[in-house]
Structure 1
């Protein structure tokens, strides 16, 4: 389920393994984030929003200039393009991911897309000149930020009713532009509205349980913290905080949903322009002149991962519902097209796997190899490591066994009495789990007479 408002993804990066020599006959494998993944250039003229459908493993990217929705799989390959979606801007998925709603900014309407067939099934007019821009689900209804007269406003569409009709709803404040909207399943009746691109930035929190907008809190951020020219914001998975990306200050600010008071920050370098929150609470932050960083739920330091990026787009981050795959949109510098990057395991902890053995051993003599599998947080009880051996008699490898690690130290050992002369290589493999990345390590021993 989508937790943040409108997102998009941007990062030229991949997760790769590196091997570092730590001693005779011993190698350790660690995970590193590096720039350079080419990504997939999308058949788009522009970019506005991105959402991820975890039921069909699809990514939807809106292109307002081209009037299309580009559809990719989880690897970034384009699998479809939904056309005739005039001014396609904000996107939001239904709770069951069966429908995609699209704000049609130049058609004064909201389109309903069947996510299985990738076809438009309904179109709901929002009113002449409303130009809907952003969407969010709250209180069981679809809310949209739009234009009302010469200013911004908020409307609602009850998509569950037999005959959904879009209606403007008084918000109790003046918006210069169509406000951006956000919500969280943890507080399903709360709707957060914010005005981007102005100074000072403004946020308002509403209760939508009655179908109207009952203001809970409102604040212009002129001080403590001072926030201006907001680019993106997202509600945390517990519904307690809002993470804000703005040109000023050069940090992602955290404010409380209850009263919009300051509650910390995530360190950035300059021009924060994107933020996304995974369903488990993992936070991803991005900035035009900095890394994309991920953080464990409830923490602001240190970063779980850092990804070097180039030309991250505003609203440029989105999580898959499995919390481990992060998508990013870059592009437009030097005329480049929007590009989708896939950052696998972005929500998982790195693991370090190492093996230690003697450099040589006599034929038929007992040979003991010791290994360690560790992570920043404890691995689950019962975690095991698979070990294979490659030698002259088994050039493609042969299983040695499956070995449990110590719950306290991560250590494991195995003993063999090799009878094949020459170099033998032991390879240990940890397959990873829902919270830890896979790891592999090797060690080579020379067997003599």
Structure 2
């Protein structure tokens, strides 16, 4: 069962003179959530290609990459990708890089043809697990023997070759990696599955790893058994999902000091940050929640996606869709959940009109479009009229809303008696949901 809660937006309606009014209001027109079982046997990572509207999901046990469209329909399954683990897209989304954990290599896949075009060895006995782009290079976290490390691959070179790079510390396992959308040279590394958890922040501008800061989270906050982390869109903070504590901790990227948290019930295991700064958090024993940029409470939206997997959240670059991966714990196949409009604000559209009006007299209907955040300049609402002479409806006009109040006005002089129904439609934009509402007026002699 999936539950979706929406944030309510308050609307104040103005009266028109002393006439009795009838009002009609309508909220957000929500798109349908979908769930699709994937033809894979395991899950490790998910990335979204906003140029080609594709979702890539790695399947290490099956050695494949499942490719779907934005609706979740499987487009292709790329096979012979041994131990496919971490995924990352090139900046222009022309290439997908895949960490091949069981053969010590990184595969390069063309995102148009969906075929492997090259393969780069990462070194003898290495097992690459995680990937991130920073400083113009592809970085990978790997294990070798009983320890881990970080390597780089200069994919812009005419002959890319992997290099194992000193990181200034000992890693028990392959570190997970993340980069900063606000600073292309920042690379964050974290060790999963240990207590206490630890993070290190590096500068990659000079081609190597210059450590900026490092911390083991023994206290304030105490964090153990790291599952996932992501840098916020402004590059100021890191949001952490770990088994303990039962909240998504936020730490400053500059010195890794505590900077708040997003509330969760138990076992936080996933986090993703949209390009506009909206944060999505997930936990094995809680809802998937989203938060507006800079906000830690209350949640903007909540989705019940049972059995969310570690690292199982990813945003589409347009911030309008959130993708989640569930499965395994209850014997089910990996399932891709498409949560459309997860980053958009709810809108409320209303019409206020008198219950009756006289034929041949001016009839004024007012409307208002509102949301928790402002609409862009030039926002319009389309209005149609349905009456005895136009049973299929006829356009009244495309009306601009007031930038300060969101209001718009319709003024007509009806020539026939009977009921008139006005329908107002807001088509939505990149940040706001669409909405439709209606109001009916009876025209008398």
TM-score by length of 2: 0.92
2:356 is the alignment partner of 1:356? no
2:129 is the alignment partner of 1:130? no
2:308 is the alignment partner of 1:312? yes
Alignment of 1:38-437 (within 5 A): 38-437=34-433
| Aligned 8 A contact 2:341 2:433 in 1 | yes
Higher relative contact order (CA 8 A, sep 6+): 1
| Aligned 8 A contact 1:17 1:29 in 2 | no
Structure 1: runs of 5+ lacking an equivalent: 1-10
Structure 1 residue 370, shift from structure 2 partner: 1.4
- Residue by residue over 1:13-51, the C-alpha shift from the partner in whole angstroms, topping out at 9 and shown as x without a partner, is 779999x999973221223879x8341211111111111
- Residue by residue over 1:199-258, the C-alpha shift from the partner in whole angstroms, topping out at 9 and shown as x without a partner, is 111111112223222221111111101111111100112222111011211211111111
Counterpart-to-counterpart distance in 2, 1:292 and 1:415: 45
Counterpart-to-counterpart distance in 1, 2:56 and 2:2: 19
Counterpart-to-counterpart distance in 2, 1:301 and 1:139: 34
Structure 1 residue 111, shift from structure 2 partner: 0.3
| Aligned 8 A contact 1:13 1:343 in 2 | no
- Residue by residue over 1:166-192, the C-alpha shift from the partner in whole angstroms, topping out at 9 and shown as x without a partner, is 222222222221110010232222211
| Aligned 8 A contact 1:203 1:219 in 2 | yes
C-alpha RMSD of the superposition: 2.6
Structure 2 match to 1:26:
23
Structure 1 residue 304, shift from structure 2 partner: 2.8
Structure 2: runs of 5+ lacking an equivalent: 14-19
- Residue by residue over 1:357-387, the C-alpha shift from the partner in whole angstroms, topping out at 9 and shown as x without a partner, is 2233344443221111111122222322111
Counterpart-to-counterpart distance in 1, 2:104 and 2:61: 15
| Aligned 8 A contact 2:30 2:433 in 1 | no
- Residue by residue over 1:293-316, the C-alpha shift from the partner in whole angstroms, topping out at 9 and shown as x without a partner, is 222222223333222322222111
| Aligned 8 A contact 1:232 1:275 in 2 | yes
Counterpart-to-counterpart distance in 2, 1:111 and 1:13: 38
Structure 1 residue 162, shift from structure 2 partner: 2.1
Structure 1 residue 12, shift from structure 2 partner: 5.0
Q: 1:57 to 1:138 in 2, by over 3 A?
A: same
Q: 1:17 to 1:415 in 2, by over 3 A?
A: farther
| Aligned 8 A contact 2:369 2:406 in 1 | yes
Counterpart-to-counterpart distance in 2, 1:77 and 1:371: 39
Q: 1:114 to 1:15 in 2, by over 3 A?
A: farther
Q: 1:391 to 1:32 in 2, by over 3 A?
A: closer
